[in-house]
Structure 1
Amino acid sequence: MQVSESLIHTRVQEWLSPVFDKQTQEEIVKLQQQDSEILKESFYKDLEFGTGGMRGIMGVGTNRINKYTLGKSTQGLSNYLQKQFPGEQAKAVIAYDCRNNSDTLAQLVADVFSANGIQVYLFSSLRPTPELSYAVKELGCHCGIVLTASHNPPEYNGYKVYWQDGGQLVPPQDGEIIAEINTLNYADIKFDANTELIKKIDKEIDTPFIENSVKNGSFAATQEAKDNTTIVFTSLHGTSITAVPETLKKAGYNNVHIVKEQEVPDGNFPTVKSPNPEEPEALAMATALAEKVNADIVIGTDPDCDRLGIAVRNSNGELQLLNGNQTMIVMTWFLLKHYKSKGIKGNEFIASTIVSTPMMKNLAAAYEVEYKEVLTGFKWIAKLIKDFPDKHFIGGGEESFGFMVGDFVRDKDAVTSTLLACEIVAYTKSHGSSFYKELLNLYVDHGFYKENLVSLVKKGIKGAEEIKQTMIDLRNNPPTEIAEEKIVLIEDYQTSIATNTLDKTQHLIEIPKSNVLIFYTEAGSKIAARPSGTEPKIKFYMSVQESIDDLSAFDTVEQKLNTKIAAIKKDLQLT
């Protein structure tokens, strides 16, 4: 990537002007003297909105999270709100997670909104992201902001924007707001707060949010079944500690053991390398506790409590961490089973993303409900609910450990999903089965799908160029076969064209454009390549499948699928 030294110099000089405070200027001078590479990384581009909003390393510069980049975004959003809702009192609600500086950055955002005459509801302390989504609708706000960087390392923070429906920004609002932001100079930011327009909130939203979480996450488990279920929960130093224990308690789960060492919110995440529930190591303390108390399930949530990782007892009685696809499949099955018992009305649908397991489509067909597929990111699932008001959203998720139950929250929700997971464990155990056994039964009934994800970290300017070149190479020279399986279909979401490689016919992909390539093989394997929208990574998603007649063949078929995944990784040079 060609980085203009003159552009960087111009930007640095601007940030040394009186528009920026003394502390910012001093930090820039220090970088000039001590670390030219970090200075370059900090100014070579503007921080952009990705699939999850704006996320980046905290520090000075246009490519960092700081008072000026967030202030400029908030000023642009304020201008947009006033144009879109003339004559109305625009209202915004703000939440923040446990990360370092999240509280001060949230206050700064509130100050800018209020300086622009916008009524602000600011949570008095850290809260889960799904509660922010709920609050937008509950308070009748025009938008919502949550300060979070999800599961990123401690040096990161971020800024996610929600719209009136409680879902994250989607087209056309996102593009229009970005355009508004790009018209501004940093000198245009109004930092002088109107404190009369800032109202602190807490219990008035906490109480109905938890009540609705209990209502939406409770199903068929009896109190006896709940009493016979032992749960280990860890918040991984994050916000879920403010909502999950209380939700489980109100739902009737009394045997909940919390990992005390990870209970206190802490943006440095001292007990884990990464506060990411996808990583087995993040749940190590929880699984150790689970063995001591003979728990049925282990649940851990990420710092802003929108994603969850779970471990359940497998066929040998050992705790096994499930991936996001496996958790999603069992949760969706359980919801569909519940709806079928009440009577399917014909307007229900479930949803997932283009890089998640194809097994979701099979489940929908089996239960005769509609299946909708969208781009990566829960904002697209929330958009479906808004776009199809005559249809009823049952639930859905994505491979990256996110799930949403119903539509009272319009983003992935680890509070209600945690309760749902516990309901499944309690219900299946009381009926002589288990969460894991039902997963295996689903493989027999709907096909054994096995997924794997490889994320390649490519940091900085050089990394961004490597990611870009990888996608260019895959487009210009696509493989004709992978793991000795002929590729029969290539979907390019950037051009919106799907190409049948056998007869060369093409058809239009009718969802928004995105930098994603998906290859399908003759044997039913699916391989997707996608740069992350919020992290310096390129991700490769692999899904392979075989039919399985009964559970006695499980181990043999699983080994076959593992071998196939290994071959795919080798062919794509991912090992």
Structure 2
Amino acid sequence: MSWQQVYEQWLNEENLPENLKAELKDLNEDPEKCEDAFYAPLEFGTAGMRGILGAGINRMNIFTVRQATEGLARFMDAQGIEVKRRGVAIAYDSRHMSPEFAMEAAKTLAQHNIQAYVFESLRPTPELSFAVRHLNAFSGIMITASHNPAAYNGYKVYGEDGGQMPPADADALTKYVRAVENPLKVEVLSENEAQMSDLITIIGEEVDAEYLKELQTVTINQALIDEMGKELKLVYTPLHGTGKMLGEKALQQAGFEKFVIVPEQAVADPNFTTVKSPNPEEHSAFEYAIRLGEKEGADLLIATDPDADRLGAAVRLPDGTYQVLTGNQLGAIMIQYILKAHQQAGTLPENAVVLKSIVSSELATEIAKKYDTKMVNVLTGFKFIAEKIQQYEVDQSQSFMFGFEESYGYLVKPFVRDKDAIQALVLLAEVAAYYKKEGKTLYDGLQDIFEEYGYFEEKTISVTLSGIEGSEKIKALMAKFREEAPKAFAEVPVTQTEDFKALIRVTTADGHSEALKTPPADVLKYYLEDGSWIAIRPSGTEPKIKFYIATRAASQEEADQKIKEFEEAINTLTA
């Protein structure tokens, strides 16, 4: 059907909620917006399905949630009765329609006689990941749009290992979802049937208690916290999201006493009233935390995004102001501390491994080398880190120590199989306590790392290209870079190119090629003569194309200059 026919189908649907009916009428006045809402269904990317709230197959609403869940239910039907008994854990964040979407998912599953475990109130994404394994569920659903603006919501699907579904399973699930031709006709339990059903179980405090019990294992040096936990001054903001309840308990449980939570941002608010975007990557998200930090004389400011899977931090500089660190810098600081602390305690395994994405800093690799720890690179998407953890759990070949992505996602202990900002909150506080005991700040600690390993600098450029036209532009840009491969960036020659879609690595000098061993992904990576690298990939969940720049230099000034020149070269190539 054409998008116009799909629009008419929705317009004529008798059971459409009044808010969606009103929106459909408004869309009729704006053909461009109407087409964008109906031209194609939302797709699963590296982090599931995510989109703007509203009417249409390209929007997040109860019908697209039902369609996705109907696909999951049919996928589970095909697995047999035991899988259906194990059921699905469901959690949700503080966004508009999140509780409603969670219950719509549960009602859809129950229609198929599949058990659903629904959290009583909002919970962080990492707790959902934990709950899947804790409950021995077959799958999990998290209703969240992570760090996106207030107009968005989303739907993540988790496998039985607690990780987001890897490509093979996600592809199989997607086929079932797409086989649901009309989301308007998906059958679900009525509200009355849902209240009476034994197939929908409400969960909460008992899972919280088990998660918090596991969280105690994140602490490496309890004696250090016992000594410095009364001294470290910490400001924490959950940015109106799910992090407060477990984050506050986690810090108290670990032994940190002098932390304060930004009061204006402690309340769950789907409009994220105090921030332009609830994204801890952005400096503006720290405005209130910085204000409170200056008042309290805080050593460290920490922010978690609305579903508490990403964490950002700002460190106090010598002049008393605060600097927001990059995800790569935070990853390096945590890896350095973890490996050093375990080495000193005699608890660093011989087969220790750290995992990171292919677009994350090589500073982490240099640190791992010093501690004789293996570094494994995986594709972007924490599901690939979770896959490796599961593999190591089965074959016992490596001992997982840490996993991270440059986009502010970290995992310390594998009782969760996704990014976990609550774990990172506790660990980073411990790292700050370590440096405070030495009379240093985290900023000083980062400078020590740079002086030892070199000045690594990275920058991500995200270009937003919305709608149908934007989607085509992103495809055209990726095609252009493949067909007209750059020979240099800022006059620095390209020595090697990796195409993760074609699964090939080519050396520029002699044309020698070899196969890449990762799953296919729409990513290009260029290695340059000076040791820098540049990568390009479309976002899996947002209408963006991303350019990653990474370099290494003998000084901060030289690194900054290189980043500036590479950024200008990219702007020229994409103009």
For the aligned pair, the TM-score class normalised by the smaller chain equals over 0.9
1:552 aligns to what? none
Q: 1:82 offset after TM fit, Å?
A: 2.2
Indicate which of 332, 336, 341 corresponds to 1:338. 341
1:172 counterpart SS class: helix
Any stretches of 5+ residues in structure 1 without a counterpart? 1-5, 549-556
Indicate which of 231, 237, 243 corresponds to 1:228. 231
1:209 aligns to what? 211
Indicate which of 363, 370, 379 corresponds to 1:375. 379
- In 1, the alpha carbon distance for the partners of 2:561 and 2:368 equals 29
Q: 1:103 offset after TM fit, Å?
A: 0.7
Matches within 5 A, 1:412-427: 412-427=419-434
Q: 1:317 offset after TM fit, Å?
A: 4.2
1:169 counterpart SS class: coil
Contact 2:500 2:520 in 1 (8 A): yes
- In 1, the alpha carbon distance for the partners of 2:565 and 2:503 equals 29
Q: Which moved more, 1:344-353 or 1:427-436?
A: 427-436
1:517 aligns to what? 524
| 1:175 matched to 2:171 | yes
Contact 1:218 1:419 in 2 (8 A): no
- In 2, the alpha carbon distance for the partners of 1:77 and 1:491 equals 34
2:508 aligns to what? 501
Indicate which of 260, 285, 293 corresponds to 2:288. 285
- In 2, the alpha carbon distance for the partners of 1:433 and 1:18 equals 64
Indicate which of 529, 540, 561 corresponds to 1:563. 561
- In 1, the alpha carbon distance for the partners of 2:24 and 2:260 equals 49
1:492 aligns to what? 499
Contact 1:31 1:38 in 2 (8 A): no
Contact 1:218 1:251 in 2 (8 A): no
Contact 2:27 2:33 in 1 (8 A): no
1:56 aligns to what? 51
1:158 aligns to what? 154
1:61 to 1:222, Cα distance in 2 relative to 1, 3 A? closer
Write out per-residue CA displacement over residues 158-197 of structure 1, whole angstroms, 9 at most, x where no aligned residue.
0001111111000321111111112223366221155221
1:138 aligns to what? 134
2:363 aligns to what? 359
Indicate which of 129, 141, 145 corresponds to 2:125. 129
1:530 aligns to what? 537
Q: 1:41 offset after TM fit, Å?
A: 0.4
2:68 aligns to what? 73
- In 2, the alpha carbon distance for the partners of 1:179 and 1:449 equals 42
- In 2, the alpha carbon distance for the partners of 1:318 and 1:384 equals 40
Q: Which moved more, 1:502-511 or 1:429-438?
A: 429-438
- In 1, the alpha carbon distance for the partners of 2:160 and 2:4 equals 40
Write out per-residue CA displacement over residues 290-316 of structure 1, whole angstroms, 9 at most, x where no aligned residue.
011100000011000000110112344
Identity rate, percent: 37
Q: 1:480 offset after TM fit, Å?
A: 1.0
Q: 1:20 offset after TM fit, Å?
A: 5.0
**TM-score, normalisation: structure 1:** 0.95
1:403 to 1:25, Cα distance in 2 relative to 1, 3 A? closer
- In 2, the alpha carbon distance for the partners of 1:344 and 1:436 equals 26
Indicate which of 232, 240, 244 corresponds to 2:243. 240
Indicate which of 186, 190, 204 corresponds to 2:187. 190
| 1:300 matched to 2:303 | yes
| 1:456 matched to 2:463 | yes
Return the letter of the residue paired with 1:565: I
Matches within 5 A, 1:5-20: 7-18=2-13, 20=15
1:478 counterpart SS class: coil
- In 2, the alpha carbon distance for the partners of 1:268 and 1:509 equals 43
Contact 1:134 1:209 in 2 (8 A): yes
- In 2, the alpha carbon distance for the partners of 1:483 and 1:204 equals 56
- In 2, the alpha carbon distance for the partners of 1:406 and 1:243 equals 16
Indicate which of 41, 47, 53 corresponds to 2:42. 47
1:84 counterpart SS class: coil
Q: 1:22 offset after TM fit, Å?
A: 5.5
Contact 2:23 2:54 in 1 (8 A): no
Return the letter of the residue paired with 1:277: P
Contact 1:53 1:534 in 2 (8 A): yes
| 1:446 matched to 2:453 | yes
- In 1, the alpha carbon distance for the partners of 2:531 and 2:353 equals 24
- In 2, the alpha carbon distance for the partners of 1:460 and 1:29 equals 18
Any stretches of 5+ residues in structure 2 without a counterpart? none
1:117 aligns to what? 113
- In 1, the alpha carbon distance for the partners of 2:310 and 2:219 equals 15
- In 2, the alpha carbon distance for the partners of 1:286 and 1:25 equals 37
Q: 1:362 offset after TM fit, Å?
A: 1.3
- In 2, the alpha carbon distance for the partners of 1:448 and 1:476 equals 33
Return the letter of the residue paired with 2:476: Q
2:36 counterpart SS class: helix
Write out per-residue CA displacement over residues 445-486 of structure 1, whole angstroms, 9 at most, x where no aligned residue.
222210111111111111111111111111111211112211
Q: 1:145 offset after TM fit, Å?
A: 0.6
Q: 1:569 offset after TM fit, Å?
A: 1.1
Contact 2:28 2:34 in 1 (8 A): no
- In 2, the alpha carbon distance for the partners of 1:18 and 1:454 equals 42
Contact 2:86 2:136 in 1 (8 A): no
Return the letter of the residue paired with 2:325: L
- In 2, the alpha carbon distance for the partners of 1:436 and 1:14 equals 58
- In 1, the alpha carbon distance for the partners of 2:247 and 2:225 equals 20
Return the letter of the residue paired with 2:433: A
- In 2, the alpha carbon distance for the partners of 1:13 and 1:320 equals 52
- In 1, the alpha carbon distance for the partners of 2:29 and 2:4 equals 16
